[in-house]
Amino acid sequence: MIDWSRVRRVTVFMPTWIGDVCMATPALKMLRAALPDGAHITAAVRHGMRPLLRGHPAVDDLVNIEPRGVTGPWRAGRILAATRPEVILVLPGSFRTALAARLAGQSRRIGYARDGRSWLLSDAAKPPSRTQPVSAVDWYCGLVGSESPDLPELIVTEEDRQSAASVMTEPPPAYVLLIPGANREDKRWPADRFATVANALHERHGWTAVIAGSPAERSLTAAVADGCDGPTIDLTERGGTLGALKAIAAGAEVAISNDTGPRHIAIAVGTPVVSLFGPTDHRWTLMEHAMERRLLAAPFLPDELMADRCGAACRIDRITVGDVLQIIDGWREAGRSILPTEP
């Protein structure tokens, strides 16, 4: 393993997806602590992900990178080379990201030995076993040195707040953030249940429902909004950056989310989150000590089984509206200082 105390310049090839960028931030923090004073860390990210890491104390510089397409690795390699790294830390596990790092030149290249790419890395680490779920936080930190005790962390900057203000020109005094989307239909809690929860929270606490989603999820967020009796703000109709979403998530009383990228944003800015898991194993994205309660469709599934392989037993509609409201009511009664992480 590399002696980080002798390294002055590192470029970190960041993961592709929103949730993984968030879950890689403890690795950035570990790296910063391991490097000598004055060392420089550049984070290479996809263009749309840049606002996520804006203002992060472990990052000195951000560059946009996109290794997709036939010539993508060559273009990405030139961008990596321009950062003048002594070491490139390749967090994604794909062949083409390791190829891009190799094409950057003679820098040391650290990443996991998988996907037939070991020969492209100067330091190919043995990946953790995948027979049982491994938290992505620990997966990324393992390339720096060890498991991390730190939670994912994102910083809300003034630019983020201004971006949020352009999306929510008249922010409500109190709101619940609803995140009803996911990359698969079987990971999505029914839209009408999100609306029912929002109605109960409006009746009990006067909270507005703020609904987040990607442009491709407009019909889904509209279905949630249509089922709400109280005031709603559908962010998919207003655009905005991930920086705006950081600021909006940070202002929410609580977020209710499927297993999807914005869930990680809400956790990383310190908002209490009720996370809903169907046929994806919650242990892949476990963030211990987070301000989160995970509701599992099959909470008594034996540890040796993965929810990913038990679709029938892990239908997300097994989670009820009452389950969600019970958690939020408990938080309201106890205060945010008591936020158990056990499912």
- 76 and 207 assigned to the same domain: no
In the chain, the percentage of residues whose pLDDT exceeds 90 is 79
- On whether residue 9 sits in a domain, the answer given is yes
pLDDT in tens, 171-189: 999 999 999 999 999 999 9
Q: Which among 89, 114, 141 is the end of a domain?
A: 141
pLDDT of residue 150 exceeding 90, the answer is no
Report the distance separating Cα 117 and Cα 151, nearest Å. Answer: 30
3-state helix, strand, coil split of the chain in percent (to 5) is 40, 15, 45
CATH number at residue 107: 3.40.50.2000
H/E element, 321:
helix 321-334
- 119 and 164 assigned to the same domain: no
Distance of CA 72 to the CA centre of its chain: 24
pLDDT in tens, 26-44: 999 999 999 999 999 999 9
Q: Which among 106, 141, 176 is the end of a domain?
A: 141
- 200 and 267 assigned to the same domain: yes
- Least confident residue range of 124-133, 216-225, 312-321: 124-133
| Mean pLDDT of all residues in 77-84 | 96
What is the 8-class DSSP label of residue 46?
Answer: -
pLDDT of residue 336 exceeding 60, the answer is no
pLDDT of residue 267 exceeding 90, the answer is yes
- 120 and 201 assigned to the same domain: no
Q: Which residues contact 110 (CB under 8 A, 6 or more apart)?
A: 2, 87, 88, 89, 90, 121, 122, 123, 125, 143
128: domain range?
Answer: 4-141
What is the model's pLDDT at position 304? 83
- Least confident residue range of 21-30, 127-136, 175-184: 127-136
- 118 and 242 assigned to the same domain: no
Average pLDDT in the chain: 92
pLDDT of residue 230 exceeding 50, the answer is yes
- On whether residue 164 sits in a domain, the answer given is yes
- On whether residue 254 sits in a domain, the answer given is yes
- 310 and 211 assigned to the same domain: yes
Q: Which residue has better confidence, 279 or 129?
A: 279
Work out how many domains the chain is built from and give that number.
2
pLDDT of residue 157 exceeding 80, the answer is yes
| Mean pLDDT of all residues in 259-273 | 96
Report the distance separating Cα 3 and Cα 12, nearest Å. Answer: 16
- 17 and 120 assigned to the same domain: yes
